[in-house]
Amino acid sequence: MRMNGLILIRGGGDLATGVIQKFYRAGCPVLVLESPAPTAIRRGAALCEAVYDGVKTVEDMTARRIPDIRAIEACLSGDEIPLLVDPDGASIAALKPAAVVDAIIAKRNMNTNRRMAPVTIALGPGFTAGADVDAVIETMRGHSLGRLILKGSAMPDTGVPGEILGKSAQRVLRAPCGGVVVHNRKIGDIVKRGEPVLSVEDKAVCAPFRGLLRGLIREGLTVEAGLKIADIDPRTGVDIHTISDKARCLGGAALEAYFYLTNRRWADAAR
């Protein structure tokens, strides 16, 4: 069965998509678990868009939303990645995966624990390796990005995005209030300083500088005040449809962690 050695990845956002690709290219059967209303903003490179559209292709992968776990094997046999709406991970116990990777990047633990699979891995802060999961992967940009942590936690979330061409916190646009999102521009547009990008309950959210609209939350969603809703990149030549350098780094680290922990378990069992 294609489901032998199943790798279950919680989350299908743009960073999680980098993780998914590494396991997919390594020949591992992958299942993605998502929420019923993902709020990814870099939607051009996020497989979670399959929740809304039924299918989503990013680079060499196509994810397909499935109704239940009975459809997993047929989807895998068609060389597609099954995506199941299961935010609480209720299906994990029945599936008995070889590994669970928490790539939600929620900055807190959404109930991932070491009882879920022989190997458990989590990305970013909110987890303690050796207690919540077997390994934590550092997500903070810099020298330690992608480092495997086998005891302890990742660096705390600063709330400040990495700097690009001198732009940092201002790159991220947040909801000024709660309400429904309406677009003025679309992902991939070049926006000018002061130009309305989108609105929430008729309150316009404007670009703080000229740049590429790299991320934009899905229109029609109801958001809470302060939620990240758009991302402007001062580099106007970035490809919005391909996986980012950070996502590829985290994906490689997750794959490394899986093989390292699996081989270590085999070695321990042979002693």
- Residue ranges of the domains in the chain? 7-157+245-270, 169-233
Is 138:153 a contact under the CB 8 Å cutoff? no
In CATH, what is the architecture of 7-157+245-270?
Answer: 3-Layer(aba) Sandwich (3.40)
In our burial notation (b when 16+ CB lie closer than 10 A, e otherwise), range 160-194 reads eeeebeebeeebbbebeeebebebbbebebebeee
Is 118:265 a contact under the CB 8 Å cutoff? yes
Give the gyration radius of the chain's Cα atoms: 19
At 196, phi and psi to the nearest 5?
Answer: -65, 130
The pLDDT tens digits for 94-145 are: 999 999 999 999 999 999 999 999 999 999 999 999 999 999 999 999 999 9
Q: How far apart are CA 252 and CA 146, in angstroms?
A: 8
In CATH, what is the architecture of 169-233?
Answer: Beta Barrel (2.40)
Q: How far apart are CA 247 and CA 172, in angstroms?
A: 18
Query: CA angle 217-113-56, nearest 5°?
Result: 30
The residue among 249, 244, 246, 245 whose CA lies nearest residue 148 is 249
Each residue's pLDDT expressed in tens, for the chain with a length of 271 residues: 456 899 999 999 999 999 999 999 999 999 999 999 999 999 999 999 999 999 999 999 999 999 999 999 999 999 999 999 999 999 999 999 999 999 999 999 999 999 999 999 999 999 999 999 999 999 999 999 999 999 999 999 887 777 777 777 889 999 999 999 999 999 999 999 999 999 999 999 999 999 999 999 999 999 999 999 999 999 988 999 999 999 999 999 999 999 999 998 777 777 6
Q: How far apart are CA 170 and CA 232, in angstroms?
A: 8
At 68, phi and psi to the nearest 5?
Answer: -165, 180
Segments in the chain forming alpha helices (H): 14-25, 50-53, 72-77, 92-95, 245-270
Enumerate the β-bridge partners of residue 154: none
| Look-up of token digits 């991302």 | 231
